[in-house]
A and B are shown apart, each in its own frame.
Chain A
Amino acid sequence: MEIFLSVWLVPGLILLGKILAFVVPLILSVAYLTYAERRVIAAMQMRRGPNTVGPFGLLQPFADAFKLLFKEPILPTQANSVIFLLAPMITFTLAFVAWAVIPIDAGLALADINVGILYLFAISSLGVYGIIMAGWASNSQYAFLGALRSAAQMVSYEISMGFVIVTVLLTVGSLNLTAIVEAQKTIWFAIPHLPLFVIFFVSILAETNRAPFDLPEGESELVGGYFVEYGSIPFALFFLGEYANMILMSAMTVLLFLGGWLPPLEILPFTLVPGFIWFFAKIALILFCFLWVRASFPRYRYDQLMRLGWRIFLPFTLIWLTLTAIVLFAFDLLPDPNLPPGL
């Protein structure tokens, strides 16, 4: 019995605690991201935004959550019920499992694996399934159109994202996320790879189906796109998943281009602030840009969206990858291949 306690129960509980330490703050951030979105966009459009529930409207996310929880879940009669209910669960789960490898400070990750960035890329490429399954299972024209749009859009932008990641990997010489951040000690990759940083930011807008690439939802033409048939808790799962994905993609941008938990300069006032605060501040900055873009730009037309992905981003990232390889090789800057695995 003692063995059971010390070998199975205690480590299991510690692991569970660690997971909860990641997930609970994440859910809270998602809740307040929705609040921040409404307040920020309201400020940009000279409105007030939610300000009645609690002080400064701070309890608004909880009011919304409880409202959704107490609504009746409706299952369309013509829907394929298993897939219909599976789809929001997939979206929600995928947005959270990716956090297992994200280091929020030096050595502070649930799992610091060798192929960290590939894992992130793999999980984010699965995100399309929640949407496409929802669209198909709803058995509705609007939802199906939304799902088709989103499938094509997400697959297209993943390719340029892949090339951006490969270029960063070439500069670092490792797929480990900690190594990627440590390699930015001298200079953040946003500076030498500035065009890639911009392309990556635009691509994550498309990947998370955010404005100006929110065609899968397209409320003015497709009613609500792929989640038009959803209500109550399944809808809440989609909603939470989408916002958690935004935070995840921002974290990915910060890790790849903005030096993760590293302070902007290695001098005194900056080094006093703990690394994870820097990490969260940078994520907040990227998230603010998400909201800023939504308040500023009209929606893209679908063929223009495809053109941007395939005919501008894809060739450009390919050329930049080749250029990076040439420069690294010519100036003998290629990372040392004899480092131990994982560094």
Chain B
Amino acid sequence: MELFANPAPILTALAFWVLSGVLVGSALAVVLARAPVHSVLFLILCFFNAAGLFLLLGAEFLAMILVVVYVGAVAVLFLFVVMMLDMELVALREGFLRHLPLGALLALVLLAELILTAIGWHAAQDLRFVSATVATAVPFAEVGAEVSNIKMLGAVLYDDYFLLFQASGLVLLVAMIGAIVLTHRTRPGVRRQEIAEQVLRPAEARIHANNPPIGGGVDWDV
């Protein structure tokens, strides 16, 4: 009974196991689901549970941004596109074995990277977090307790790595312009509303009073 005297660690552990269990399960379902739309929906569930895990780590800002950006915007567009595609389910199944070696290789690389990160993280426990604005130099692992997430991220991004941050913004800008240039084409014959032209037109040009003779009709040249 003593074991249950303090609910907080039990609930945290329970939340961790439920979130990570659903995360792994839905990640598997993304790959295994037959219909592409189901895959995307499972992917969304994945994102959501990952956000939950971030919350457990105390990274509430990252959790919210994950939901806003990935679930709220990226996945919506993804779902949008997948719903519009009229895909042949059988054809989708066929490539499974052919692409298996490449997929397995990618998975192995990712796994190796994760293990390396975990080892590095373990070694970095006693690194000091030093930033220009956040003056307190505390062990990396404890920094979250003293300064709020957002301030920490802000200090790192905008003070310590300002140029790199701007450069990554430029990379995104180039990608965006590239995508627009590649896909944008001017189609002739598309009727478009020119708001400025409409507003600037004088009143006389908009309304034209006529008194047509009976049976004569009007000349329409406006």
Q: Which residues does A use to contact B, with CB under 8 Å?
A: 1, 3-4, 7-8, 11, 83, 113-115, 118-119, 121-122, 125-126, 128-129, 132-133, 136, 144, 148, 151-152, 154-155, 158, 162, 175, 303-304, 307, 337, 341-342
B4 and A158 form a contact (CB under 8 A): no
CB of B151 within 8 Å of the partner chain: yes
B80 and A126 form a contact (CB under 8 A): no
Residues of A within 8 A of B149 (CB): 114-115
A136 and B68 form a contact (CB under 8 A): no
Residues of B within 8 A of A341 (CB): 147-148, 151
Q: Sort chain B's interface into a size bin.
A: 20 to 34
Residues of A within 8 A of B4 (CB): 3-4, 7-8
Residue from A3, A4, A8, A342 in contact with B148 in the complex, judged by beta carbons closer than 8 Å: A342
Q: Which residue on chain A has the smallest CB distance to residue B65?
A: A118
Q: Report Cα–Cα, A307/B192, bound state, in Å.
A: 12
Could you list 8 A-B pairs, sorted by A, with CB under 8 Å? A7-B7, A114-B60, A121-B68, A125-B68, A132-B79, A133-B41, A136-B83, A158-B73
CB of B71 within 8 Å of the partner chain: yes
Residues of A within 8 A of B148 (CB): 114, 341-342
How far, in Å, is A271 (CB) from chain B's closest CB? 32
How far, in Å, is B150 (CB) from chain A's closest CB? 7
Q: Report Cα–Cα, A158/B79, bound state, in Å.
A: 17
CB of B72 within 8 Å of the partner chain: yes
Q: Told that A113-B60, A114-B149, A307-B195 touch, could you supply 7 new A-B pairs with CB distance under 8 A?
A: A7-B6, A83-B41, A119-B64, A128-B72, A129-B44, A151-B80, A158-B73
Q: Which residue on chain B has the smallest CB distance to residue A144?
A: B83
How far, in Å, is A66 (CB) from chain B's closest CB? 33
Those of B138-166 within 8 Å (CB) of chain A: 147-151
Q: Which residue on chain B has the smallest CB distance to residue A307?
A: B195
A118 and B61 form a contact (CB under 8 A): yes
Q: Report Cα–Cα, A121/B71, bound state, in Å.
A: 12
Q: Which residues does B use to contact A, with CB under 8 Å?
A: 1-2, 4-7, 37, 41, 44, 60-61, 64-65, 67-68, 71-73, 76-77, 79-80, 83-84, 133, 147-151, 193, 195
Known: A118-B65, A132-B83, A155-B77. A126 touches B6 (CB 8 A): no
B193 and A303 form a contact (CB under 8 A): yes
Q: Report Cα–Cα, A223/B172, bound state, in Å.
A: 41
Q: Which 3 A-B pairs have the closest CB atoms?
A: A125-B72, A341-B148, A118-B64
Residues of B within 8 A of A155 (CB): 73, 76-77
Residues of A within 8 A of B71 (CB): 122, 125-126
How far, in Å, is B66 (CB) from chain A's closest CB? 9
Q: Report Cα–Cα, A303/B41, bound state, in Å.
A: 29
A7 and B5 form a contact (CB under 8 A): yes
Q: Report Cα–Cα, A152/B84, bound state, in Å.
A: 13
Known: A114-B60, A132-B79, A155-B77. A175 touches B150 (CB 8 A): yes
How far, in Å, is B80 (CB) from chain A's closest CB? 5
Q: Which residue on chain A has the smallest CB distance to residue B10?
A: A8
Q: Report Cα–Cα, A154/B195, bound state, in Å.
A: 23
Residues of B within 8 A of A128 (CB): 72, 76
Q: Which residue on chain A has the smallest CB distance to residue B150?
A: A175
Residues of B within 8 A of A152 (CB): 80
Residue from B60, B67, B79 in contact with A125 in the complex, judged by beta carbons closer than 8 Å: B67
Residues of A within 8 A of B80 (CB): 132, 148, 151-152
B60 and A115 form a contact (CB under 8 A): yes
Q: Report Cα–Cα, A144/B84, bound state, in Å.
A: 10
How far, in Å, is A164 (CB) from chain B's closest CB? 14
Residue from B2, B72, B150, B151 in contact with A158 in the complex, judged by beta carbons closer than 8 Å: B72
Residues of B within 8 A of A121 (CB): 64, 68
A115 and B61 form a contact (CB under 8 A): yes
Q: Report Cα–Cα, A162/B37, bound state, in Å.
A: 28
Q: Report Cα–Cα, A129/B84, bound state, in Å.
A: 15
Q: Which residue on chain A has the smallest CB distance to residue B62?
A: A115
Residues of A within 8 A of B1 (CB): 1, 3-4
How far, in Å, is B153 (CB) from chain A's closest CB? 12
Q: Report Cα–Cα, A115/B51, bound state, in Å.
A: 14
Residue with the greatest number of chain A CB neighbours at <10 A, chosen from B65, B79, B84, B193: B79
How far, in Å, is A343 (CB) from chain B's closest CB? 10
How far, in Å, is B131 (CB) from chain A's closest CB? 12
Q: Which residue on chain B has the smallest CB distance to residue A147?
A: B83
Q: Which residue on chain A has the smallest CB distance to residue B77?
A: A155
Q: Which residue on chain B has the smallest CB distance to residue A4?
A: B4
Residues of A within 8 A of B67 (CB): 122, 125-126
How far, in Å, is A336 (CB) from chain B's closest CB? 12
How far, in Å, is A180 (CB) from chain B's closest CB? 14
Q: Report Cα–Cα, A129/B5, bound state, in Å.
A: 40
How far, in Å, is B87 (CB) from chain A's closest CB? 14
Residue with the greatest number of chain A CB neighbours at <10 A, chosen from B68, B72, B195: B72
Q: Report Cα–Cα, A304/B195, bound state, in Å.
A: 10
B76 and A132 form a contact (CB under 8 A): yes
Q: Report Cα–Cα, A115/B195, bound state, in Å.
A: 40
A304 and B60 form a contact (CB under 8 A): no
